[in-house]
Structure 1
Amino acid sequence: MLDVYWLLCVCIRTIEHADNTGSLFAFTPEFFLNVAMNAYSALKNYFSPANSMEELPGYEETLTQLAAILAKHFADPRIVGTDIKDSLMQALASYVCYPQSLRAVERIPEEQRVAMMRNLLAPYEQRPWAQTNWILVRLWRGCGFGYRYTRLPHLLKTKPEDANLPSLQKPCPSLLLQRHMAELLSLDKDMAASFLNSVLNQLNWAFSEFIGMIQEIQQAAERPERNFVDTRQLKVCATCF
């Protein structure tokens, strides 16, 4: 466990040093970002509960450093690889689902927190819209009108599920990040308009795709011959819903 933690710390320091080089950061091998994310995932999910990650030296500081990297680089224009962009987005989406890592995001400098929220509120463009929406929803879920359930009672499964999955974590909203979002939208009218426009456009697309796919699935089910619905189509349908 200590070896994996050492590797995580080395990668974090390497990324921070490379970030200070300005435009040369674009030439940093993706290896360091991938290893940092995978090492954190391994420490969190693949060790015995007897070896708690919280007992590692400098644990909270390391968590905050990794949060700063994810918050800054998920929308960094110097990173052009589609796969590494998706990985950073997914890592940030997972990060905001757990109370300890979410508090680490709240501990990063205010300037970085505001920049992160500004990037999340920007039009989707080349970013994965599903992950962006997931992050914004998790920051609100359980606060005010947000769902207070981990999963709606009528959607509970009879078989036990992996309680460590990000989607099964209890709501842990962030009032601090909500405040940043409110301030950005209230002070920048152009940003507010473009954000609402992109959300409504995405909602319109999701409704259209959802209705179309539901109809295709129903038609396939009504055919006399045995048909199998593509698993990917079902996943996209669930995401749109």
Structure 2
Amino acid sequence: MLTILQEKDTDLLLQRAARHLCQKLRDALAVHAAVNIAVPGGRSVVKIFDAMRTEALDWHRVHFFIIDERLVPIDHPDSNFGLLRDHLVTPLAREGKISPENAHPFILDTTATDRGTLAYEEVLAGQGFRYDIILLSSGEDGHVGALFPGHHSVTDPHHGFIVMDDSPKPPPERMSSSLSLMLTARTGVLLFTGEAKREAFKKFGDATIPVSACPARLVTGMKDATVFTDQIHE
């Protein structure tokens, strides 16, 4: 089922998205011993992390994975994992609410042809090789993670993590969850925030456009998907 929630005030919208995510985590924890949630980076996602910190739930049973990552070390300023660590996991860990080991970074290995993706797949395999919940934020072209429209990333048949040296969005070197891995999630939350995303949101709403042309549409294949957007048509 797909639900679209609209709110003109972007900050209020992101707070609603954070509360929604935490409720979905509680629902999943009610039936699973542990829950995997995969998250991206970005300014909007940082605000969601900040809001999630105030929510009460059993964080010790939640495991975080990174949807996509630039091919940089985890202490690099451009690291998506760094945003998750600094804005959610470390503050929760300081309060004894989560173990830092529950946040699983992608570790770049420049000596390996796979850049470290196989090792990351082994970590995910230890948690069931699936996502329970996935948070996505659409780009201006409708890309999510590092799956780009009309690009080999979105049609790559590999089930796991993929790397590329030709990302249409700089920097060109990126890692991403594959399409099939993202679709292991039962619950998806997708953000369309900012005027620059208006055209992408329009494409998302066109059922004739395939996922390969608008990767954000992958959430329409999930059992439970909610879109949060500040795109309001008067």
TM-score, normalised to structure 1, is 0.26
Question: Per residue, is there more strand in 1 or in 2?
Answer: 2
Q: Which has the higher helix share?
A: 1
Of structures 1 and 2, the larger Rg is shown by 1
